[in-house]
Amino acid sequence: MLNINLPGYTLVLLSALSTHCLAADPIALRWSQVSQPTLTSSPQSIGTYTSGCISGAVLVPATGMGYQIMRPSRKRAFGHPELKNFIVNLGQTASHQNLGNILIGDLGQARGGPTVSGHRSHQTGLDVDIWFLSSQHANTHTLSYDERESWSAPSVLLKNTIYLDPRQWSKTNESVLAAAASRPEVDRIFVNPSIKRELCMKYYKEDWLRKIRPWWHHDDHFHVRLKCPVGNPNCQTQEALPAGNGCDAGLAWWFTEEAKHPTPSPILTKPAELPKLCEAVLHQ
């Protein structure tokens, strides 16, 4: 999930969604060392997706109907109960549509917060990475622990290009994305710009396409972000999506030189300070 090269883009660019060479940050270290969620009857996502935490997270079971959690050793299968419900429901849809088991990557830590490596987002228990299913991943058996640790998600792009690899890209991927984006609790889904372009050619009339947004990387998994759950007043939502299906000039920008060299570089932007409420969550 982390060592993702961005085919077609020579720049080593670290996006706000996934960064993987931050020095071990002492604050992130504290969050990573807490192994249990706080117990509460009212789970709360607090702060923003990139600077926040969660109280009352739940652990998503490693195996469910139509889905399996990958990389169990990372211990990042915690999320808001609404995120768990989303995964369970998407798995059931995949199962009913015979799409194979959906492979789930990172959710968040037991109490959310920053991680020592990997994601800058995924902090409030409302983000999840889902691998793109390819023929080799269209499995129907329950993967062993070792398989979950050793399998890797292949890029759906032809090496060093911005074109989808027909051996890796399939109607199954499109069906899973459509099912995920159609769910009302989903705020947006990040995919590689080349994937968005492909979907624009085939599904430009579909309402769910608006939620699928281009972003750097995301050629071997897609990133689902839920809306702030009702009754979570300290959860800060992201700016609303622009009108339209996103198949316009905004998408064309992603294929320009400027997109390859954005300023300011996300790598230079420091994460915001965590909300005060998160200190209490950490020490509870």
Positions touching Zn ion (CB under 5 A) are: 129, 223
- As measured in angstroms, the least distance from the Cβ of 262 to Zn ion is 18
Amino acid letter, 239: E
Nearer to Zn ion, 196 or 223 (CB): 223
CA distances from 192 to 46, 155, 188 (A): 28, 10, 13
CB neighbour list of residue 233: distance below 8 Å, 6 or more residues apart: none
Q: How many residues does the chain have?
A: 284
Q: How far is the CB of 106 from Zn ion (least distance, A)?
A: 6
Q: Among residues 82 and 129, whose Cβ is nearest to Zn ion?
A: 129
Nearer to Zn ion, 115 or 232 (CB): 115
Q: How far is the CB of 223 from Zn ion (least distance, A)?
A: 4
**What count of other Cβ atoms lies within 10 Å of the Cβ of residue 239?**
5
CA distances from 201 to 82, 179, 195, 246 (A): 32, 18, 10, 12
- Secondary structure (DSSP) of 88-105: HHHHHHHHHTT--PEEE-
Which C-beta is closer to Zn ion: that of 20 or that of 283? 20
- As measured in angstroms, the least distance from the Cβ of 201 to Zn ion is 25
Residue 51 CB, shortest distance to Zn ion, in Å, is 15
Query: Is 129 or 187 the residue whose CB approaches Zn ion more closely?
Result: 129
Tell me if residue 69 falls in helix, strand or coil.
strand
Query: Least Å distance between CB 40 and Zn ion?
Result: 25
Nearest to 97 by CA among 172, 169, 209, 168: 172
Structure tokens at 99: 């799409």
Q: Of 38 and 118, which has the nearer Cβ to Zn ion?
A: 118
CA–CA separation, 273 vs 65, rounded Å? 38
Closest residue to Zn ion, based on beta-carbon distance: 223
